[in-house]
Every structure is written in C-alpha cells, then in structure tokens.
Amino acid sequence: MHISEGILSAPALTVGFAGTAVLAAATMRNLDMEEVPKISVITAVFFITSLIKVPLGPASIHLILNGLVGVVLGWRAFPAIMLGIILQAIIFGHGGVTVIGINSLMLGGGGLIAYLVWQQRHRFAFKKREFVFGALAGALATISSGIVLAIALVTTGEAFHAIAATVLAAHLPIMLIEAAVVGACAEFLQKVKPDILAGQQAVKKAG
Amino acid sequence: MALDIDRYAHTASPLQRWDPRVKIFSMGLLILSIALLKTIPMAVSALLLALVILGVSALPRHFLVHGLSFVLVFLIPFFLIMPFTYPGEAAFSILGLPFAWEGLRLASLIFLKALAIVMITFAIFGSSRFDISMLALQHLKCPKVVVQMLLFTYRYTFVFLDEMRRMHTSMRARGFVARTDLKTLRIFGHFIGTLLVRSFERTERVYKAMLSKGYQGELHLLVTFQSAGSDYIKAFVIISIAMIIMYGDLGGGLHTAEQGWY
C-alpha cells in the first residue's frame, strides 16, 4: 500500500520527509561498510517479492513484507525499506517522488515495530516460537502501516475519510496473509540459516 | 516487468545530453511544484507539459506505455470511491449512491498530477544510465552510503528476479498451484526464505570478490560531470515553468471556489 502522488498537502509531505530523515539518521548510526551489501540484498528481495501475487478468492493481492524486513534486519529495516521505496518511485512510479518521505515513514515504521515485536520472543520458550512471533511481527507491521496511512488521509481532509476507512478495512485480510507468510518464513530461516535473523546474538549470550 | 528504467538511456535527446546533476535538480523543483497544485486547469497544463517533456526525451512509446500502465491501475480506485463518498451535497445518485461532482474533481486532480509527475520521473531517469543518475545524486549531497546501497540494490534486483523466476518454474514443475489457503501461504513463506538465503550467500561471495579487488565503499566511474551554458539554459526554462505553474495556481484567476480540501 502506498500513498499516491498528488493527494497530500505540503505540510504533510514535509512531515513525511522530516520524520524519515530523523528515523533514517537514527537507524543508520554506526553503519558498518560490511552491512551495506546485506541491507542491499534484503532491500532487493523486499523489492522483488512485492511483485508476488497471492490469490485471495477471485482477486489477488501483493505482499508487503515490511514485517519480514524488520525480522531480518532489525533497526536497519528502516533504511532498507526507504531504499526500496525510492527505487519503486523511480522505476515504477508506484507512490511517487514527493511522497517518498511519508511512504518510508509508513512502511519503514512498520518494519521497526515488527523488530520490536520480534525481539519479545526471547522472553518465551516454546516450540513454535519463531512462527508465532514472526506472524505477530508481520501482522503488526502491516496494520500499523495501514493506520499511519489512514491517519495521513484523515488529516488531509474530510473528503478522504471514506477512503481512509476503506484502506484500513482492506488491510485486515492483508494482515492475516502477511502474518502467515512472515511466520512461515521466520520459522524456515530459524531452521535453515538462523544467523540471518535479527537479534540472534542475544539468544546465544543468554543461553 | 520492465525494471530496467535506463534501457533506452542511449537514445539521443536534449534530456539525455543534459548534465544529470542540473537535470535532477531542476526537474525535482518542477515535480514539487506540480505535486502541490490545487486547480484542474493548472494540473491539465502540467500533464501537457509532461507530455512535451516525454516527447523531447524521444523514449520509445511502448516502453512508456508499459511503465505508465502500472500507475493507472493504482489511480483508478480514486475514481471509483471519491465521487461517491465526498461529504456534502450530492448532485444525483447512481444505484442509490450519492454522486458528488466535487469528489470527481478531486479524483481527477489527483489523477492528473500523479500521472504528470510519474511521466516526468520517467523522463529524468529514463534518459541517463542508472549509475550515472545515482552519481549525480551523490553530487547533489545525497549521502554516499545511500547511493551505494541504491546501486547495489538495483544491480541485485535483476539477479534475484531471475532466481525467483527459476524457483517459481521449478515449483510449478513439481505441481504447485497457488490457492487461497494456509498451505499456499506457508509455501510462499518458505519460498521467500529460500530466496533470501540464496541471495544472501551469493552476495557474500560477490562482496568478498569486491573487497579483494580493492572496494572501499565507493564506486569509481569513468564519468566526469561537465555543465555548460546550455545546461543552465535548460534549467532556467524548467524552473521558470515551475514558478509559472505555482503562480498560476496560487495567485492567478483560477483560484476561485477551490477551498475545502487542504
């Protein structure tokens, strides 16, 4: 889900860019040169997997997967998602160049929330832990993006209230699908290549 | 899916000859001024201007149509929702839904502006090689590490897209059919996980190879930017148009009965 070009007012666009600049600066602190390729890989995968269509009854939806980026990259999810959005704006014209700020804030913020949720898994120990927390991270990332999108639309004007409600309602089925996919993916990565997941070091130290 | 935006960057045109730094800066101002338009006549002129710019860019028509068709899909919902949900007086009803002209006007405004901006973006990035555009961004004070990551991501996108297509083919060969059920979603999750692991390991190899060849966080291109008088003339023209558009929208006689949105 993106906010399209030409809807938001200048103050909203400015808030988007300012917020993104602050969050990008905060989440890119002490960025090591060796992390650059890893972030780029995840961004590229995030970028192309957004092309995957999941059938939903007669229609189909595209995956968002910002929760998965949070699960894999941790705080660096924000710059990764921001880059994905810049590329989408340049290459597809999805979203648009003046809404790069607000879209990064929306989806990247969801990625950060996903990471916060994902980290809570250390407090628990049960068999399906990675699946459950991956699913929660995926779901919360999606719905928080939907909420930010709805807020941006509602503050734009009364004319957009109905669209905001529609958009928020549309995020509910997407949320369930994202939860299932991100959960399955997190469980898979835990089995196959656990060191690709974010926040794994803490586990080793603790136990 | 046309992902390589710079496929026709070799096409000679005034845009292609324009110094990318000056081009991105002045076109950026133009885009910003279009994004803030509030009146239909100015949005129509912006769209016409975008058509002229695309015409000047001499990019092949099928390339543009293909790229723009994605945008249209994104914008059509506005036409379907906004006229029927605009608060206030309805002109008439269709199937019991109140239809408001103001809603249609807003939807058209969004549509015109978005299309104009996407077309101009196409003209900017379609007329220079992608790595050169990125280098130009770096000259415009975009952080070096962001430029590096954009370049990496752009390169990897094509590699991974091929990988994804191969994996998808082999899945279908083994009888996979996407349905609306949990099993499909689980398979998608594993599919994405596999793609991540494969891409990650490939990149580690590539990165080591790059390090051994002396990579130090910067890409060196055999490109030097040179801006001449003609570059600044083009910039002057574009920025003047941006100012005229803004003025026509704000101060001109078109600013009647346009309240209530912002």
Of A50, A92, A161, A182, which to mutate for an interface test with B (greatest number of B Cβ within 10 Å)?
A: A92
CA-wise closest residue to B76 among B49, B111, B26: B111
Let me know if domain A10-206 sits in CATH 1.10.1760.20.
Answer: yes
pLDDT (mean) for A29-54: 85
Tell me whether 0.95 is exceeded by the ipTM. no
Residue of A nearest to B83 (CA): A159
> How many angstroms separate the CA of residue B112 from the nearest CA in chain A?
8
pLDDT at A94 over 60: yes
pLDDT at B49 over 80: yes
- Say which residue the tokens 């945008």 belong to: B71
pLDDT at site A112: 95
pLDDT (mean) for B89-94: 68
> How many angstroms separate the CA of residue A93 from the nearest CA in chain B?
5
> How many angstroms separate the CA of residue B220 from the nearest CA in chain A?
16
Confidence band (pLDDT; 50, 70, 90) for B7? confident
pLDDT tens digits along B175-190 = 998 888 889 899 999 9
Of B81, B111, B192, the CB nearest to A49: B192
pLDDT at B83 over 70: yes
pLDDT at site B262: 44
pLDDT at A113 over 60: yes
Of A37, A63, A163, the CB nearest to B152: A37
Q: What's the per-residue H, E or C state across chain A?
A: CCCCCCCCCHHHHHHHHHHHHHHHHHHCCCCCCCHHHHHHHHHHHHHHHCCCEEEECCEEEECCCHHHHHHHHHHHHHHHHHHHHHHHHHHCCCCCCCCHHHHHHHHHHHHHHHHHHHHHHHHCCCCCHHHHHHHHHHHHHHHHHHHHHHHHHHHHCHHHHHHHHHHHHHHHHHHHHHHHHHHHHHHHHHHHCHHHCCCCHHHHHHC
pLDDT at A125 over 60: yes
- Residue A131's identity, in one-letter code, is F
**CB of B221 less than 8 A from some CB of A:** no
pLDDT at site B229: 84
Of A1, A35, A40, A65, which to mutate for an interface test with B (greatest number of B Cβ within 10 Å)?
A: A40
pLDDT at site B257: 46
pLDDT tens digits along B137-166 = 888 888 888 888 888 888 888 888 899 999
Burial, B255: exposed, middle or buried (Cβ in 10 Å; 0-12, 13-18, 19+)?
Answer: middle
**CB of B179 less than 8 A from some CB of A:** yes
pLDDT at B28 over 80: yes
Kindly state the percentage of chain B with pLDDT values over 70.
Answer: 91
- Give the number of beta-carbon pairs within 8 Å between A and B: 210
Confidence band (pLDDT; 50, 70, 90) for B1? very low
Give the helix ranges, DSSP H, for chain B.
Answer: 14-17, 20-35, 40-57, 61-85, 101-126, 130-139, 144-173, 182-212, 229-250
Token pair in block for residue A80:
């990764």
Of A5, A72, A181, the CB nearest to B113: A5
